[in-house]
C-alpha cells in the first residue's frame, strides 16, 4: 500500500451572482429570513450556455496550475455531480477530453451532496491500492438549473460551482479514516422524482414540476445535524483521534445553522471551521472542495493540520473523512 496526499486544489464559480435582494423580487421572501434561517447572502448561477462540465473544467485547470501538472499527468478523472451534462456519457469523459487528456480513465459518481466525501474515499483508495498514481476528483454542480424557481423553500438554497483536488501517491499517508453511510428507505425526503427509470419524463411530470428538486426541509435538517456529528465521531474514532485533535472542520455548506449545531457539539470554534455558505449557497458535491480550495489558497489550512471533511445529502447519505494535510 502506498500513501496518498492532495497536491492540487482549484475551484470555479459562474460569474452571475444572485443575492438575497434579487430573490425578494421573485417571491415572498426577505434577506432577513434567508440570512437568519440559512446564513446565505449570495449564490452563483450559471448562464443558459454553461453546463456542469464547463465549471468542472475551470476548477480542474486551476487545480492543475496549483499542482504544476499537465492533464496527461493524471491517470483518472472522477466527477461527483447530481446534474451531469447528459444522462450519459459521463461528464468526467467530457472534462478529460476538453483538458486534452487522452485515453485516461474517467467516470462520474452520484451520491448527491455526499459526492465529495464518497469520491475522496474512492479516489484515495485507488491511489493507496496502487491502481493509479494520480487521480483528479471534481465536485461540480449546476443546481440552479434543477430547482423549481417558484418554490421559495428550495430556490433560495442552491448555487452552482465546482471544486477540484488532485490526489497523488505519497510515502506519507494523508488519508487517516473514512466513515460512509446511507439510508435509502425514504428517497422522497430529498429527490428529483421524474427523469429516471422510475418515472421517465412526460408532460404530466413537467406540469407537476416533478423534474425539479423536492425537499422536506425540516426532516432533512434533523437528519443532517445528527449524521454530521455521528459520522465525524465515527471517523475520528477509526483514526484513533479525539475531537480536540481536529485543526479544521470543512463541512458541506447546506445551512449555517446545521454547521453551527455540529460545531457546538464537536467543540470546534468558528476560526477552525471553514464556512463560505454566505457566498455560494449550497453547491452540493462542490461545496467541500470549493471551501477547501479557498482555505488552502488563503493559507488557512497548512501542512500538519488534521482536517475533517464531513457531508450529507440525498440518499439519504452521509460521510466524513479525516485527513492529515501534507
Ligand atoms: O444539501 C442537501 C441537504 N439539504 C439541507 O440540509 C437543507 C436542510 N433544511 C434546511 O436547511 C431548512 O429546513 C430550510 C432552510 C430549508 C428551511 O428552514 P426551516 O427553519 O426548516 O423552515 P421551515 O421549512 O420549517 O419553514 C418555516 C416557514 C414556513 O412558513 P409557515 O408554514 O411556518 O407559515 C415556510 O413556508 O418559513 C416559510 N418559508 C419561507 N419564508 C420566507 C420557507 N421558505 C421561505 C423563504 N422565505 N424562502
| Cβ–Cβ < 8 Å for 72, 102 | yes
Q: What are 114's three cell numbers? A: 455526499
Write out pLDDT tens, residues 168-182.
Answer: 999 999 999 999 999
**pLDDT at residue 306, as a whole number:** 98
Q: What angle do CA 1, 119, 77 make, to 5 degrees?
A: 85
Tell me: the pLDDT tens digits for 120-148?
A: 999 999 999 999 999 999 999 999 999 99
Residue of minimum CA distance from atom 29 in ligand 1:
153
> What pLDDT, in 10s, does the model give residues 55-78?
999 999 999 999 999 999 999 999
Residues 78/136, Cβ–Cβ less than 8 Å: yes
Helices (H) and strands (E) in the chain, counts: 11, 13
Average pLDDT score over residue span 150-166? 97
pLDDT band at 231 (very low <50, low <70, confident <90, very high): very high
Task: Look over the chain and give the mean of its residue pLDDT values, rounded to a whole number.
Answer: 97
User: Distance from the CA of 218 to the center of ligand 1, in angstroms?
Assistant: 7
Q: Please give the positions annotated as active site.
A: 113, 252, 282
Each residue of 276-325: pLDDT tens digit?
Answer: 999 999 999 999 999 999 999 999 999 999 999 999 999 999 999 999 99
Confirm or reject: Cβ of 6 under 6 Å from ligand 1: no
- The yes-or-no verdict on residue 1 having pLDDT over 90 is no
CB of 255 sitting under 6 A from ligand 1: yes
Question: From the CB of 33, is ligand 1 less than 6 Å away?
Answer: yes
- Whether ligand 1 lies within 6 angstroms of the CB of 282 is answered as yes
Q: Which domains does the chain have, with CATH numbers?
A: 3-173 (3.40.47.10), 176-324 (3.40.47.10)
Q: In this prediction, what percent of the chain has a pLDDT beyond 90?
A: 100
Residue with CA at minimum distance from ligand 1 atom 12:
217
Comparing CA positions, the residue from 230, 281, 272, 226 lying closest to residue 252 is 281
Query: Which band of pLDDT confidence, cut at 50, 70 and 90, is reported for residue 247?
Result: very high
Q: Pick the residue whose CA is nearest to atom 2 on ligand 1.
A: 313
Amino acid at each position: 500500500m502506498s500513501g496518498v496526499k492532495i497536491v492540487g486544489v482549484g475551484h470555479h464559480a459562474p460569474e452571475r451572482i444572485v443575492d438575497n435582494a434579487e430573490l425578494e423580487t421573485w417571491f415572498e421572501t426577505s434577506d432577513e429570513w434567508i440570512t437568519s434561517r440559512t446564513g446565505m447572502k449570495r449564490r452563483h448561477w450559471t448562464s443558459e450556455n454553461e453546463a456542469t462540465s464547463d465549471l468542472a473544467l475551470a476548477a480542474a485547470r486551476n487545480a492543475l496550475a496549483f499542482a504544476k501538472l499537465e492533464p496527461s499527468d493524471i491517470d483518472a478523472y472522477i466527477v461527483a455531480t447530481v446534474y451531469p451534462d447528459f444522462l450519459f456519457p459521463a461528464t468526467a469523459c467530457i472534462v478529460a477530453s476538453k483538458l486534452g487528456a487522452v485515453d485516461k480513465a474517467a467516470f462520474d459518481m452520484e451520491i448527491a451532496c455526499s459526492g465529495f466525501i464518497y469520491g475522496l474515499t474512492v479516489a484515495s483508495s485507488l491511489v493507496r491500492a496502487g491502481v493509479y498514481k494520480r487521480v483528479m476528483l471534481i465536485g461540480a454542480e449546476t443546481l440552479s438549473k434543477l430547482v423549481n424557481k417558484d418554490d421559495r423553500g428550495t430556490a433560495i438554497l442552491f448555487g452552482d460551482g465546482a471544486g477540484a483536488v488532485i490526489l497523488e501517491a505519497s510515502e506519507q499517508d494523508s488519508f487517516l479514516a473514512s466513515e460512509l453511510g446511507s439510508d435509502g428507505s425514504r428517497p422522497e425526503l430529498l429527490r428529483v422524482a421524474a427523469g429516471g427509470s422510475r418515472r421517465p419524463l412526460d408532460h404530466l411530470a413537467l406540469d407537476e414540476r416533478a423534474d425539479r428538486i423536492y425537499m422536506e426541509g425540516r426532516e432533512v435538517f434533523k437528519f443532517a445535524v445528527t449524521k454530521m456529528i455521528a459520522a465525524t465521531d465515527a471517523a475520528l474514532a477509526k483514526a484513533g483521534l479525539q475531537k480536540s485533535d481536529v485543526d479544521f472542520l470543512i463541512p458541506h455548506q447546506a445551512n449555517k445553522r446545521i454547521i453551527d449545531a455540529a460545531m457546538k457539539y464537536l467543540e470546534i470554534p468558528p476560526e477552525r471551521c471553514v464556512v463560505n455558505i454566505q457566498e455560494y449557497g449550497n453547491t452540493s458535491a462542490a461545496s467541500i472542495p470549493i471551501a477547501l480550495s479557498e482555505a488552502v489558497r488563503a493559507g488557512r489550512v497548512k501542512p500538519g493540520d488534521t482536517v475533517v471533511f464531513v457531508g450529507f445529502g440525498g440518499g439519504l447519505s452521509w460521510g466524513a473523512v479525516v485527513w492529515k494535510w501534507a
